């Protein structure tokens, strides 16, 4: 009798469809009966700014000297109707994030960092705190469906008003600040009992549609003596039409937030499956402004997944006047810092992946109302880190702009870009690298 040779076995093979993360989610859903809620933006791989490249100067274009020749970064927002437009030194703003979802220290740090760099920060659902007003030289006051903490006195203290229709993480969705984060101060600001889940409505209580919005904007202007720039923020889903309708309604500034834009707390299925990537939203919005003859007259701010100066430069080249950062700003403050790894492990996660911002247990003291955790964040040092980061974003964007021969970052243009993938080429409306082929196109 001869021995049979050992039969080779196939390797264990995971399904692409039912991958480990999917299996884990099915088990979690089976055990709890409730969808997964988390913070942050879309985590799936999406066509993004990394799929674009700048061409740089060559024989047909000449560059500017990197450390000698000026490359401007200033931007003025609200030039259409507001008596007092906002003048920013850099085209990078801090997106709306609420006191409640963030600690007072984090809000203060955002204000400090933004003010150091001459840019604006933004309130969120829940109203304006004295920390952020006091430490923000330029503060945008959000006007949200819940109107938590909304009052005319704060409205007049603001430098601009942002009417929030939606956000990129959840176009069409409202919000829920869970009871764990409803401290006495948060509860009082929102006129609600402590410890209950606070829902933020998905529609405004006293207007629907662009005709009503036009009247609402008129009211806000009348209350504030037509001084404040009025932004309209929408989650990216139908950017051409939303931009056109916001312009029709009288907005000074349009804010388009792509699906990579973060949220304090939303269903994972909403974050990952509703809305469109930031990259896909810019050209249609710019096209709407161009069709109305208002590009650069009504300013466009783009947000959702901006991480570095290349992203900033690419957004501006596609036609934005400024960008806004949220998640990246929190990381600059200290969010998901490996220094707190032991604490992240104790929460069943790891630094870099922590997204249970709604639970109020943030080891970095940012997305929490726990006094002990919040005290971990030094607002002065964190504000300095944010200023450093904003500075790097600006320097990087300038570096690229100079390489493309631009004396101002706003002189960047789609012609400076090519795409690495067919998808990105179609979304951004620029040629596939090495070809003159622009697939798709913006056909409105």
Partner 1 sequence: MTPAPNLATAGLAGPEAETIDLGTDSVRDLNSRLQAVQPGANATRFHVLNPAGRHALAVGLTAPLSVEIDGHAGYYCAGMNALASVTVNGNTGIGVAENMMSGFVHVKGDAGASAGATAHGGMLLVEGNAASRCGISMKGIDIVVKGSVGAMSAFMAQAGTLIVLGDAGDALGDSIYEARLYVRGTVKSLGADCIEKPMRDEHRAEIAEKLAAAGITGVDVGAFRRYGSARGLYNFHVDNAGAY
Q: CA–CA separation, 326 vs 21, rounded Å?
A: 26
The residue among 47 and 124 lying less far from partner 1, judged by its C-beta, is 124
The residue among 225 and 435 lying less far from partner 1, judged by its C-beta, is 225
CB of 25 to partner 1, least distance (A): 16
Residues in the chain: 444
CB of 29 to partner 1, least distance (A): 11
CB of 170 to partner 1, least distance (A): 16
The residue among 57 and 150 lying less far from partner 1, judged by its C-beta, is 150
Q: Buried b vs exposed e over 45-64: b needs ≥16 C-beta within 10 Å?
A: ebbbbbbbbbbebeeeeeeb
The residue among 215 and 392 lying less far from partner 1, judged by its C-beta, is 215
- In degrees to the nearest 10, what's the CA dihedral of 137, 142, 146, 151? 50
CB of 164 to partner 1, least distance (A): 14
Q: CA–CA separation, 2 vs 361, rounded Å?
A: 64
CB of 193 to partner 1, least distance (A): 6
SS3 content of the chain, % helix, strand, coil (to 5): 35, 15, 45
Q: CA–CA separation, 335 vs 260, rounded Å?
A: 17
Residue position matching structure tokens 């960008």? 323
Residue 307 dihedral angles phi and psi, to the nearest 5°: -125, -30
Residues ≥6 apart with Cβ < 8 Å to 425:
418, 419, 431, 432, 437, 438, 439, 440
CB of 175 to partner 1, least distance (A): 12
The residue among 25 and 218 lying less far from partner 1, judged by its C-beta, is 218
Residue position matching structure tokens 């200033």? 74
- Displacement of CA 279 from its chain's centroid (Å): 13
How many CA atoms within 13 Å lie on the side-chain side of 333?
A: 34
Residues linked to residue 304 through DSSP beta bridges, in sequence order: none
Q: CA–CA separation, 9 vs 127, rounded Å?
A: 62
The residue among 268 and 290 lying less far from partner 1, judged by its C-beta, is 268
CB of 176 to partner 1, least distance (A): 7
Q: CA–CA separation, 296 vs 77, rounded Å?
A: 9
Q: CA–CA separation, 97 vs 111, rounded Å?
A: 11
Residues that bind partner 1 (CB under 8 A): 32-34, 146-147, 150-153, 155, 176, 178-179, 190-193, 195-197, 199, 201, 205-207, 212, 215-216, 218-219, 222-226
The residue among 53 and 176 lying less far from partner 1, judged by its C-beta, is 176
Q: CA–CA separation, 368 vs 336, rounded Å?
A: 13
Q: Buried b vs exposed e over 247-276: b needs ≥16 C-beta within 10 Å?
A: bebbbbbbbbbbbbbbbbbbbbebbbebbb
CB of 101 to partner 1, least distance (A): 16
The residue among 37 and 42 lying less far from partner 1, judged by its C-beta, is 37
Residue 272, token pair as written in the block? 């990952």
The residue among 28 and 296 lying less far from partner 1, judged by its C-beta, is 28
The residue among 10 and 32 lying less far from partner 1, judged by its C-beta, is 32
CB of 394 to partner 1, least distance (A): 37
CB of 361 to partner 1, least distance (A): 17
């Amino acid at each position: 009798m001869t021995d049979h040779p050992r039969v080779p076995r196939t390797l264990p093979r995971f399904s692409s469809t039912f991958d480990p993360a999917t299996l884990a989610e099915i088990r979690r859903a089976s055990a709890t009966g409730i969808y997964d809620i988390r913070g942050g933006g879309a985590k799936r791989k999406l066509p993004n700014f990394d799929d674009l490249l700048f061409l740089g100067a060559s024989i047909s274009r000449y560059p500017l000297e990197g450390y000698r020749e000026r490359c401007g970064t200033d931007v003025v927002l609200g030039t259409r109707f507001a008596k007092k437009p906002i003048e920013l030194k850099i085209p990078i703003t801090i997106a709306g994030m609420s006191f409640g979802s963030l600690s007072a220290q984090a809000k203060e740090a955002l204000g400090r960092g933004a003010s150091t760099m001459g840019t604006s920060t933004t309130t969120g659902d829940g109203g304006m705190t004295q920390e952020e007003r006091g430490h923000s030289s330029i503060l945008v006051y959000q006007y949200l469906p819940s109107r938590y903490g909304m009052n005319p006195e704060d409205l007049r203290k603001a430098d601009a008003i942002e009417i929030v229709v939606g956000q990129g993480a959840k176009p069409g969705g409202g919000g829920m600040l869970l009871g764990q984060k409803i401290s006495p101060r948060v509860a009082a600001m929102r006129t609600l009992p402590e410890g209950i889940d606070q829902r933020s409505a998905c529609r405004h209580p006293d207007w629907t549609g662009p005709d009503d919005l036009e009247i609402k904007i008129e009211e806000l202007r009348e209350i504030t003596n037509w001084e404040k720039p009025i932004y309209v923020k929408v989650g990216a889903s139908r950017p051409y039409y939303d931009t056109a309708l916001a312009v029709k309604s009288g907005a000074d500034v349009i804010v388009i937030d792509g699906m990579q834009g973060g949220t304090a707390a939303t269903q994972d299925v909403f974050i990952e499956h509703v809305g469109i990537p930031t990259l896909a939203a810019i050209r249609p919005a710019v096209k709407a402004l161009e069709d109305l003859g208002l590009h650069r007259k009504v300013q466009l701010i783009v947000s959702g997944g901006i991480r570095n100066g290349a992203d900033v430069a690419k957004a501006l080249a596609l036609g934005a006047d400024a960008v806004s950062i949220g998640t990246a700003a929190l990381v600059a403050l200290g969010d998901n810092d490996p220094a707190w790894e032991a604490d992240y492990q104790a929460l069943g996660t790891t630094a870099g992946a922590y997204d249970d911002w709604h639970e109020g247990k943030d080891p970095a003291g940012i997305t929490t109302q726990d006094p002990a955790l919040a005290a971990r964040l030094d607002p002065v040092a964190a504000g300095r880190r944010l200023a450093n980061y904003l500075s790097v974003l600006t320097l990087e964007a300038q570096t690229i702009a100079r390489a493309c021969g631009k004396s101002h970052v706003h002189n960047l243009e789609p012609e400076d870009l090519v795409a690495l993938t067919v998808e990105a080429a179609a979304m951004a409306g620029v040629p596939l690298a090495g070809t003159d082929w622009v697939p798709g196109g913006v056909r409105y």
